[in-house]
Amino acid sequence: MAQVLEFKLPDLGEGLTEAEIVRWLVSVGDVVAVDQPVVEVETAKAMVEVPCPYGGVVTARYGEEGTELPVGAPLLTVAVGASAPAGESAPAAAAPAPDPVADSAPTPARDPAPSREGASGNVLVGYGTGAPVARRRRVRPPVNGARTAPSAVRGGGAAGAPGPVPGPVAVVSPLVRRLAREHGLDLRTLTGSGRDGLILRCDVERAIREGVTASQTEGATVATASTVGTASTPAGTSTAATASTTRSGATRVALRGVRGAVAEKLTRSRHEIPDATCWVDADATELLAARAAMNAAGGPKVSLIALFARICTAALARHPELNSTVDTAAREIVLLPEVHLGFAAQTDRGLVVPVVRDAHTRSAESLGAEFARLTEAGRSGALTPRELTGGTFTLNNYGVFGVDGSTPIINHPEAAMLGIGRIAAKPWVHQGELAVRQVVQLSLTFDHRVCDGGTAGGFLRYVADCVEQPAVLLRAL
Distance of alpha carbon 109 from alpha carbon 172, whole angstroms:
22
Task: Enumerate residues 6+ apart whose C-beta is below 8 A from 375.
Answer: 345, 354
User: By the 8 A CB rule, do 361 and 313 touch?
Assistant: no
Burial call 405-444: b when 16+ CB within 10 Å, e when fewer: bbebbbbbbbbbbbbbbbbeeeebeeeeeeeebbbbbbbb
Strands 74-80, 68-70: parallel, antiparallel or unpaired by DSSP? unpaired
Distance of alpha carbon 476 from alpha carbon 460, whole angstroms:
15
Task: Enumerate residues 6+ apart whose C-beta is below 8 A from 350.
Answer: 257, 258, 259, 262
Is 322 buried (19+), middle (13-18) or exposed (0-12) by CB count in 10 A? buried
Task: Enumerate residues 6+ apart whose C-beta is below 8 A from 275.
Answer: 269, 409, 410, 445, 446, 447, 448
Q: How far is CA 1 from CA 7, 58, 180, in A?
A: 19, 15, 46
Cis peptide upstream of residue 150 (ω within 30 degrees of 0): no
Report the SS3 class of residue 68: strand
Distance of alpha carbon 457 from alpha carbon 278, whole angstroms:
7
Distance of alpha carbon 199 from alpha carbon 189, whole angstroms:
11
Distance of alpha carbon 380 from alpha carbon 372, whole angstroms:
13
Q: Residue ranges of the alpha helices (H) in 247-385?
A: 257-272, 285-296, 304-318, 364-380
- By C-alpha distance, which of 108, 111, 16, 17 is closest to 62? 108
Distance of alpha carbon 367 from alpha carbon 305, whole angstroms:
9
Distance of alpha carbon 437 from alpha carbon 243, whole angstroms:
50
**Is 340 an annotated catalytic residue?**
no
> In angstroms, how far is CA 287 from the centroid of its own chain?
35
User: By the 8 A CB rule, do 252 and 427 touch?
Assistant: no
Distance of alpha carbon 292 from alpha carbon 168, whole angstroms:
66
User: By the 8 A CB rule, do 23 and 40 touch?
Assistant: yes
Catalytic residue chosen out of the listed positions 360, 412, 430, 448: 448
Catalytic residue annotation: 448
